[in-house]
Amino acid sequence: MRTVTAKFGGSSLADAAQFKKVREIILSDPARRFIVVSAPGKRFDGDIKVTDLLIEAWEKARAGQDFDEILTHIGERFDEIARGTGTPFDVQSELTLIRQGLLAMPYRDYALSRGEYLCARLMAGYLGREFVDPAFVVCFDREGLLDEDATREALRKRLEGLDGAVIAGFYGSRPDGAVQTFSRGGSDVTGALVADATASDLYENWTDVSGMLAADPRVVENPAALDMLSYRELRILSYMGASVLHTDAVKPVRNSGIPINIKNTNRPLDAGTMILPHLPKEHVRRAVTGVAGRKGLSVVQVEKHMVSDGAGFTAVLLDIFKNHRVPFEQCLTGIDTISIVIRSDLMRYKRAQILADIRDQLDPDVLNVHENLSMITVVGENGSGADDLTVKLLLAVANEGISISTINQGAGRLNLIIGVNEADYERAMRALYRAIAQIEA
Ligand code: ASP
């Protein structure tokens, strides 16, 4: 029998009407055995996600302020779902426990995790399936890093033999039993871990859009929908800012080659986007799959005469960043010059020390920092013709009068990354997208 792990995001679980849609989707395919849920999200523009309400409650608890009103509001949201779906659920007893927990020790990750916990318990009751608490089966190590092997083993043991189950997303626990969450949007990661541990044939990720788009619709008008992309393309696009799936959700399923299908709970018949280990040969490949980008970057430029003839300069430079625990996004080397691209928010507090260390240890001829940069990437698995394509793409940006500060071209297939000032980001993105559309036409 086929096995599907289906993860539903917050907007798919926002109220009783959404819960009903989710149930219908689940019951329409018996392969959908393992269900992973987020916490209820926004019901309308301006609404507040349950996780954000929990953050507020925790902040108040930490400050010694009263947080009852917020918990009451959270209780009302779950009550509406329980009543609307006819599911017996004693939300008051659950809230009492949460209240006691927050009063005894206002612990952030515990507070944040309660949205998924309550949602999964309620969904399990509604579907008549077993509830699985990830606190016992999603394992973090003492440093707070996910222990993938231990998690796979624990999830496998817990889920084997079950016809189906509902697993709360977003959290697990450390060896001492303390609850720990992933970063925001982390239920996607839980879904991928469950899909991997249960050797699922497919990992469905249900959200409120019919798949991924070739560009950010807030910047580019009406971008094309993507029917298929490879893990590699997804990785690059999401790293560079495409936000449909959590970046850490790819690794667990990538290792076992499980396809991911992004689907829309509000339009379940839409095919959505299929993400595969490799694009099939018969798939009509476009030269470009998508465009994505990030703002908030800085470039540190270092120049030293004759340095390219020696060895070790780059290694020392990168060590300085490593010692300050500032990861870099890109390292671009030229003759006697090196440019390191870094997230500005990570650089901010360490800037003075990092620059002092570079001066002390490397005695550069030139040392500059450029801020307010953005990076835009154009990705396509179809490598042939990429040279010509790169020229056309760069021209499209240059013709807009936008100056390009860095160019980085990945080997082989198309993975072009260009740097432009933040102020030019939207214009550059639109110019690139227009050029792509013309090339594809
Ligand atoms: N509820 C959490 C959040 O809002 C996790 C998730 O939705 O995946 O970030």
Over residues 187-197, the pLDDT tens digits come to 999 999 999 99
- Domain end residue (candidates: 276, 309, 342): 276
Index of the ligand 1 atom closest to the CA of residue 169: 8
How many domains is the chain built from? 2
Assigned domain for 306 exists: yes
Average pLDDT over every residue of 73-84: 98
Domain with residue 189: its CATH number is 3.40.1160.10
How far apart, in whole angstroms, are the C-alpha atoms of residue 296 and residue 347?
11
Cα 172 to ligand 1 centre (Å): 13
How far apart, in whole angstroms, are the C-alpha atoms of residue 138 and residue 7?
16
Domain with residue 396: its CATH number is 3.30.2130.10
Identify residue 94 by its one-letter amino acid code: E
Structural domain including 210 reads 4-276
Q: DSSP class of residue 424?
A: G
How far apart, in whole angstroms, are the C-alpha atoms of residue 353 and residue 337?
21
Residue 183 CB–ligand 1 contact under 6 Å? no
Q: What pLDDT does 285 receive? A: 64
CA distances from 232 to 45, 255, 415 (A): 33, 12, 10
Residue 117 CB–ligand 1 contact under 6 Å? no
Same domain, 137 and 76: yes
Same domain, 383 and 334: yes
Residue 49 CB–ligand 1 contact under 6 Å? yes
Residue 374 CB–ligand 1 contact under 6 Å? no
pLDDT in tens, 141-183: 999 999 999 999 999 999 999 999 999 999 999 999 999 999 9
Same domain, 319 and 355: yes
Cα 129 to ligand 1 centre (Å): 22
Same domain, 123 and 182: yes
Cα 182 to ligand 1 centre (Å): 9
From 8, 18, 51, give the residue whose CB has the most ligand 1 atoms within 8 Å, as the site to mutate: 51
Residue 195 CB–ligand 1 contact under 6 Å? no
* pLDDT above 80: residue 57: yes
Burial 357-384 (b: 16+ CB within 10 A, else e): bbeeebebeeeeebeebbbbbbbbbbee
Same domain, 332 and 393: yes
Comparing CA positions, the residue from 235, 341, 234, 228 lying closest to residue 285 is 228
pLDDT in tens, 326-378: 999 889 888 889 999 999 998 888 999 999 999 999 999 999 999 999 999 99
Residue 243 CB–ligand 1 contact under 6 Å? no
Assess contact for 404 and 398: CB atoms under 8 A: yes
Cα 187 to ligand 1 centre (Å): 6
Same domain, 42 and 74: yes
Average pLDDT over every residue of 389-403: 93
Strand-pair partners of 415: 379
Same domain, 333 and 249: no
Same domain, 352 and 430: yes
How far apart, in whole angstroms, are the C-alpha atoms of residue 246 and residue 184?
8
Residue 272 CB–ligand 1 contact under 6 Å? no
Assigned domain for 285 exists: no
Average pLDDT of the residues of the chain: 92
How far apart, in whole angstroms, are the C-alpha atoms of residue 62 and residue 244?
32
From 8, 38, 205, 265, give the residue whose CB has the most ligand 1 atoms within 8 Å, as the site to mutate: 38
- Domain end residue (candidates: 276, 298, 324): 276
Cα 38 to ligand 1 centre (Å): 6
Residue 134 CB–ligand 1 contact under 6 Å? no
Cα 277 to ligand 1 centre (Å): 26
Q: Which residue has the higher pLDDT, 396 or 305?
A: 396
Three-state secondary structure call for residue 380: strand
* Ramachandran quadrant class, 225 (left: phi over 0; alpha: psi -120 to 50; beta: rest): beta
Identify residue 345 by its one-letter amino acid code: D
Q: Both tokens of residue 126?
A: 């509604």
Three-state secondary structure call for residue 227: coil
Same domain, 376 and 271: no
Residue 10 CB–ligand 1 contact under 6 Å? yes
Cα 51 to ligand 1 centre (Å): 7
Same domain, 135 and 224: yes
Identify residue 29 by its one-letter amino acid code: D
Same domain, 311 and 185: no
pLDDT in tens, 397-440: 999 999 998 898 876 677 889 999 999 999 999 999 999 888 77
Assess contact for 331 and 340: CB atoms under 8 A: yes
Comparing CA positions, the residue from 146, 151, 153, 228 lying closest to residue 186 is 146
Same domain, 68 and 126: yes
Assigned domain for 284 exists: no
Assigned domain for 205 exists: yes
Assigned domain for 281 exists: no
Q: What are phi and psi of 329, to 5 degrees?
A: -90, -40
Q: Whose CA is nearest to atom 6 of ligand 1?
A: 185
